[in-house]
Amino acid sequence: MARFADVTPAPVEPAARISSLDVLRGFAVLGILVMNIQAFSMIGSAYINPTSYGDLTGANYWVWVLSHALADQKFISLFSMLFGAGIVLMARKTQQGGARPASLHYRRMGWLILFGLLHSYLLWSGDILYTYGMCGLLVYLFRKRSPSTLLVSGFVFLAIGSAISLGIGQWIRSAPEEALIELREGWQPDSATIALELAVFRGGWLTQMPSRSAEAFLFQAFLFPTAFLWKASALMLVGMGLFKLGVLSGGRSTRFYLGLVVIALVLGVPTIAYGVHKNFEAGWDMRSSFFFGIGSQYNYWASVLVALGWVGVVILACRSASLQRAARALGAVGRMAFTNYILQTVICTTIFYGHGLGLFGYVDRVGQILIVFSVWAVQLVLSPIWLRRFRFGPLEWLWRSLTYWHVQPMRVDLAGGVAGAGVP
């Protein structure tokens, strides 16, 4: 048996990949844009309080409702599960190859954290890579646990996150009004605050920098330890457990995946709909509907059920002969998930921010979803074309090369092999 020190680890070859994971990952990274487009195109409060900015009647109302019920926290939950599954899979394959998985993993997470910081401060404050890198440092310690332990641990992490949110929400409900002035400005900004934010993001890149940096710091210093850490880690643990049970790799019966879809439709979506009803009934009052209020808990928990329902939908679609072409395109998007995620930022900030077309605040929710469909079309077409010639997306190649401390072969020859694969 080879000693660890004698082995040079290498990325998984395309032929050895688990196709269902790539398809699910592609589906998730496209779905994430349904919610992110609101953050790209409108003032920050509109993401958490739809009544704070923009038209919310007619078709715009239904775009928001459907996005909230089917996408908000669902695709990021699915992506978190897949990230957890990827940690288990990579550690397993690295160890089978005789190398040390821990050093490789932590180096990989370190680079991801750096990428997240660059993304959040230079391009867009709504970055998720920093959160994934930080959570990846923690959940790796659970990788050898049994599926049942992983699933229970995930539930515990979810409960801790929920308890923290409700605790902060209780403070908000009991705090004196003068202590909530800044929070109210972020929840329901006045016309002057809205005008200032519009001016900032309709301005040039340097004009945006102070606001973007402040938002990124707020997310990383406050929202990460109080909210993002717990739910993202929880879903990664759940993903580890589901991967070990064969759920994410398509190893369960058709009846099982149909069951996931039914649970999402019977329990998940109605719970979210009830939460929407309660928030509108309360007039989207900050004390009940805020990120840390009781009104947020319906979607917090039910989003997990809907995310699992999407797993069922995608796996069942992969088993349909008539949908294989679509599955291959989604799989290509998933193999380039890092590149496609950052590409979405580049495209959308160019459309909405002042260093590009400057449409920030001008596009209603119907227009936003049409832009989402257009970006999907671009990525579904370009990703397979790119992978016919290259092993990885450009950012995947960079991440792997930095992780393995070795420039990875990139091009694929016409015979389907790797150009230069034999060159040390």
Assess contact for 386 and 408: CB atoms under 8 A.
no
Range from 93-97, 193-197, 279-283 carrying the lowest mean pLDDT: 93-97
Measured CA to CA, the distance from residue 411 to residue 3 in angstroms comes to 31
The count of C-alpha atoms lying within 13 angstroms of the C-alpha of 105, restricted to the half-sphere facing its C-beta, is 26
Measured CA to CA, the distance from residue 220 to residue 388 in angstroms comes to 38
Range from 172-176, 309-313, 373-377 carrying the lowest mean pLDDT: 172-176
pLDDT at 424: 27
Q: Which one-letter DSSP state was computed for residue 390?
A: B
Mean pLDDT of 65-69: 97
Tens-digit pLDDT profile for residues 86-122:
999 999 988 887 778 999 999 999 999 999 999 999 9
Assess contact for 290 and 296: CB atoms under 8 A.
yes
Tens-digit pLDDT profile for residues 357-384:
999 999 999 999 999 999 999 999 999 9
pLDDT at 390: 96
Mean pLDDT estimate for the chain: 92
What separation in angstroms does the CA of 19 have from each of 14, 101, 378?
Answer: 9, 23, 21
Six-digit token string for 18: 């688990």
Measured CA to CA, the distance from residue 238 to residue 308 in angstroms comes to 10
Q: Give pTM, 2 decimals.
A: 0.92
Sort residue 331 into left (φ over 0), alpha (ψ -120 to 50) or beta.
alpha
Surface-to-core class of residue 362, CB atoms within 10 Å of its CB (0-12 exposed, 13-18 middle, 19+ buried): middle
Residue pointed to by tokens 């019966």? 253
Does residue 418 register a pLDDT over 60?
no
| Percent of the chain with pLDDT strictly greater than 70 | 93
Does residue 421 register a pLDDT over 50?
no
Mean pLDDT of 384-400: 96
Surface-to-core class of residue 178, CB atoms within 10 Å of its CB (0-12 exposed, 13-18 middle, 19+ buried): exposed
Does residue 420 register a pLDDT over 80?
no
The count of C-alpha atoms lying within 13 angstroms of the C-alpha of 221, restricted to the half-sphere facing its C-beta, is 6
pLDDT at 208: 97
Q: Confidence band (pLDDT; 50, 70, 90) for 183?
A: confident
Measured CA to CA, the distance from residue 159 to residue 155 in angstroms comes to 6
- Which amino acid belongs to residue 346? V
- Distant-in-sequence, close-in-space partners of 201: CB < 8 Å, separation ≥ 6: 208, 211, 352, 353, 354, 360, 361
Tens-digit pLDDT profile for residues 315-338:
999 999 999 999 999 999 999 999
pLDDT at 287: 81
Measured CA to CA, the distance from residue 369 to residue 63 in angstroms comes to 8
Mean pLDDT of 125-149: 97
